[in-house]
Chains A and B, each alone.
Chain A
């Protein structure tokens, strides 16, 4: 079981101080937050992707590669990478590069994005969003598994003899989570490929997320990747923690009330009652998080949202101290004691290398020589199946 934090990358006015951080300040802050996450013993850090203010994270792999250099254990991931408006070829290349630079300490979560104006900025149409997401992943899946891809689809230029470089680290593709809150096609795709499924689990009650998770588990088994229990599930959540429950409520309320997404709507009390949000003592956060396990069964990754709605950096860092120091250690112990030995381990590069190669050596692709036209022909690597063909003279 992995615990981590996921950030939307919003730059929001602090409703208490009235100050809006600059982009530079917020980007510096996210680096400190990520480094702190590792320091307090968390396992994963995820960043969102947005292409409009007030968000900064347009280039997640650049940010994550930098964080990889600042950390040693933390798994860097996304929440989410836009599989609709990004070219899947660029996703294949950029995330494979991140995988090499982070020595496998990365994975990614794919999402569609629900901001309609973003689609045309990238030459797409939100009305086709789901079909684009599904088709783009079909291509991405192959780009990381086949040295040479011929491909034709509806939403991007056809590919002939295309090789995505660099090949994945140890020729083991990055692990992929498919994120969705209500789209069975996305859960079906995750199940079909044996990938992970992630439920955002922020705005809706646990019962809502459970429906699609159950469907994914059932389909994962249907496609022969393992039993329902062995399916790989990640779940979001949201907490504000203070030593004393009443302090948590007092400190968090102004941020809750002004939060861009649910502010001026339900009261803090209504929202904590009806959704996964906990505002309270470490014990209250522990108790609520264990109810997620009651509903979903063993799952592999729990992410918390802790840095949004204008919360200042020092407040977020305090949250991480409490999360990593008092909440997660208890959860690790409790969930380990509940864990079914049959359920899957959290996905790691080392685990996936071992699954593919056992004790044998991992493949390390070495390109064939440049023929002088900047390509290597039909057989790009020395160990590719077909031998390279060179134009003859007669």
Chain B
């Protein structure tokens, strides 16, 4: 996917997922700051970044529909396409009650497990109080581990008092360079091309793109008239 490295022409594709619900939203602002910083850092190094934004506010009814009926609406379908092609993701959630917002979590709950495998993800969250600071590392990081993403070491949390602090800018910068280096390394692409089959998949997963079928499994042997008994018990 990342042939822009060699040609130098194609920008990196960054997708921002923001769970902010107001307009303007601090959750979105934090995500934008991270995305802009990734873009600026890339520019310094003679690269470019194209950013698409998935604002979950406008997907809210489609997300609940997907939860109760598995029906993916047109905006969800578009978001899945964007994420499937993304070289990296910035995932930014508001924290209301000691957890990332339900809207944010629900969006990731209805995605295929395989959609984001090995992709670099910057985790970010906003809250009204610093008491929520560990939500990013204790809750969001485990969600993205389940999705088998490559979360960057620095997570970015901003409570009300952080917005004007220099340290927040530094953390954003750290997260940005971590994400950029992971994109440059082609880590996700290489994992997905060399090791994709070592991850558990379902037919039609990864947004409908995962269509390879392993025909050498025990179940496939059973499907074609073979035995269900483990091999050592046969004969």
Residues of A that sit less than 8 Å from B by CB: 130-131, 134-135, 138, 141, 153-155, 182-186, 188-189, 192, 203-204, 207-208, 211-212, 215, 261-262, 264-266, 270-271, 273-275
Contacts and interface: CB of A to CB of B under 8 A. Distances in A.
Interface stretch (B128-136, B174-182, B212-220): B212-220
A185 B220 contact: yes
A265 B68 contact: yes
B203 interface: yes
Identify whether the interface residues of B are mostly helix, strand, loop, or mixed: loop
**Which among B68, B222, B228 has the highest number of chain A CB atoms within 10 Å?**
B222
Contacts of B71: 203, 262, 265-266, 270-271, 274-275
B65 interface: yes
Interface of B: 64-65, 68-74, 202-204, 208, 211, 213, 215, 219-220, 222-225, 227-229
Contacts, number: 81
A131 B71 CA distance: 28
B48 to A, nearest CB: 33
Nearest to B224: A192
Given A135-B222, A182-B202, A262-B68, 8 more contacts: A138-B225, A182-B203, A188-B213, A188-B224, A203-B69, A207-B208, A261-B69, A262-B71
A192 B223 contact: yes
Given A188-B220, A265-B65, A274-B71, A182 B204 contact: yes
Nearest to A138: B225
Contacts of B74: 273
Contacts of B65: 265-266, 270
A155 B227 CA distance: 11
Q: Which 8 A-B pairs have the closest CB atoms?
A: A265-B69, A189-B223, A265-B68, A134-B222, A192-B224, A154-B228, A266-B65, A184-B213
Contacts of A215: 203, 211, 213
A262 B227 CA distance: 39
A134 B211 contact: no
Contact of B228 (A134, A207, A262, A275): A134
Contacts of B208: 207-208, 211
A343 B211 CA distance: 25
30 contacts: A130-B219, A134-B219, A134-B228, A153-B227, A153-B229, A154-B228, A182-B202, A182-B204, A185-B219, A185-B220, A185-B222, A188-B213, A188-B224, A203-B70, A203-B71, A204-B70, A207-B208, A208-B204, A208-B208, A211-B204, A212-B203, A215-B213, A261-B69, A264-B68, A265-B69, A266-B65, A270-B65, A270-B73, A271-B71, A274-B72
B228 A188 contact: no
Nearest to B69: A265
Contacts of B224: 188-189, 192
Contacts of B72: 274
Contacts of B202: 182
Nearest to B225: A138
B45 to A, nearest CB: 40
Contacts of A188: 213, 215, 220, 223-224
A261 B71 CA distance: 12
Contacts of B203: 182-184, 211-212, 215
A266 B68 CA distance: 8
A210 B223 CA distance: 21
A154 B229 contact: yes
